[in-house]
Chain A
Amino acid sequence: MSDARIEKISIIISKGSLESVYPGLIMANGAREEGMEANLFFTFFGLDAIHKARNEHIKLATVGNPGLHLATMLGGLPGMSSVMTHLLDQKMARLDIPSIPEFVEMIADSDAGLFACKASVDLFGLDRDDFIPQVNGIITVGEFYGLAAGGQIIFT
């Protein structure tokens, strides 16, 4: 292993829950703050993070999330995900962590690339207009690997 500085990073966000989207955004933003080149590739339910009607409504998973220490049956109650998301949102606001739409915009302003996965866009019957204007394009896996060339890839 070489300990050379990482100069470029490509982050794949594949899930649409709050706890899956934030880490990828934090790492992409952190990469730009360190002066690295950064690209974000949104695939499958991760597309919600750049979907203009959905990215304000990304919720914490309250079922199938043992780290939350909430009984599965309680987690499945109607409205539980919204309540827990609201509590976490308040905590994050106190720490001045931006909301997902604001965070994505901030990352776009830092000149990181935002890309939607073509296979997922086709699968869900979406098109360019469903996404926020900051999205640089809808690209194939092959194009993604082309963009990622010479850097590190993180899958979340």
Chain B
Amino acid sequence: MATMTYVGIEVSTDAEGFFADPSKWTEAMAPQIAAAEGIAELTDRHWQVIRFMRDEYERKGDAPNVRALSKTTGIPIKELYQLFPKGPAKLAAKIAGVPKPHGCI
């Protein structure tokens, strides 16, 4: 466990920086988490993915991996990697304040 401070609020995360309690996340925290991962600006396209990760996690209890993310949102895999170069599903989940996706593929 670790503690991070986003927009002045302390939150617990796991060793990799994923939120321990997704309910502590607010949209205002996202740009700061993204910046720490090398994404300087969150575009509307980034937000589409972040909100989708959040919704899927809330609906199913697990955020999708890259393949399911691409198939369901219609955003091509190539573009997902351009938006989130260090792993789209993993990074988008981290920025969305939800646990790391569990799928293998």
B105 contacts which chain A residues (CB < 8 A)? 26, 29-30, 96-98, 103
A127 at the interface (CB under 8 A from B): no
**Nearest Cβ on chain A to B68's Cβ, whole angstroms:** 7
Contact residue range for chain A?
10 to 19
CB atoms of B81 and A111 under 8 A apart = yes
Within 8 A of A (CB), among B21-70: 65-68
- Chain B residues contacting A29 (CB-CB under 8 Å) are 66, 105
Is the CB of A34 closer than 8 A to any CB of chain B? Answer: yes
**When each residue 108-125 of chain A gets 1 if its CB lies under 8 Å from chain B and 0 otherwise, what string results?**
011100000000000000
The answer on a CB contact under 8 Å between A32 and B81 is: yes
Interface centre among B68, B77, B86 (most CB of A within 10 A): B77
**Complex formed: what's the CA distance from A96 to B103 in Å?**
11
CB pair A110 B86 closer than 8 Å: no
Residues of chain B in range 73-99 having any CB-CB distance to chain A below 8 Å: 76-78, 81, 85-91
The verdict on A106 contacting chain B, using a C-beta distance below 8 Å, is yes
A103 / chain B contacts, CB cutoff of 8 Å = 105
CB distance from B65 to the nearest CB of A (A): 7
The verdict on B1 contacting chain A, using a C-beta distance below 8 Å, is no
B104 at interface, CB cutoff 8 A: yes
How far, in angstroms, from A111 to B68 measured CA to CA in the complex? 18
The smallest beta-carbon distance between A128 and chain B, in angstroms, is 22
Provide the residues of chain B in CB contact with A32, threshold 8 Å: 81, 87
- A37 nearest CB across to chain B (Å): 10
Closest chain A CB from B71 CB (angstroms): 8
Which one of A26, A34, A96, A110 contacts B68 once the chains associate, using CB atoms below 8 Å? A96
Per-residue CB contact flags for chain A residues 77-108 toward chain B (1 = under 8 Å, else 0) read 00000000000000000001110000100100
In the complex, 9 of the A-B residue pairs with CB atoms within 8 angstroms, ordered by the A residue number, are A30-B105, A32-B87, A33-B87, A33-B89, A34-B90, A35-B87, A97-B105, A106-B67, A110-B66
Interface set of B (CB-CB < 8 Å, partner A): 65-68, 76-78, 81, 85-91, 104-105
Q: A33-B88, A35-B90 are in contact. List 18 more A-B contacts (CB 8 A).
A: A26-B105, A32-B87, A33-B66, A33-B87, A33-B90, A34-B87, A34-B90, A35-B85, A35-B91, A96-B105, A97-B105, A98-B67, A106-B67, A109-B76, A109-B77, A110-B77, A110-B78, A110-B81
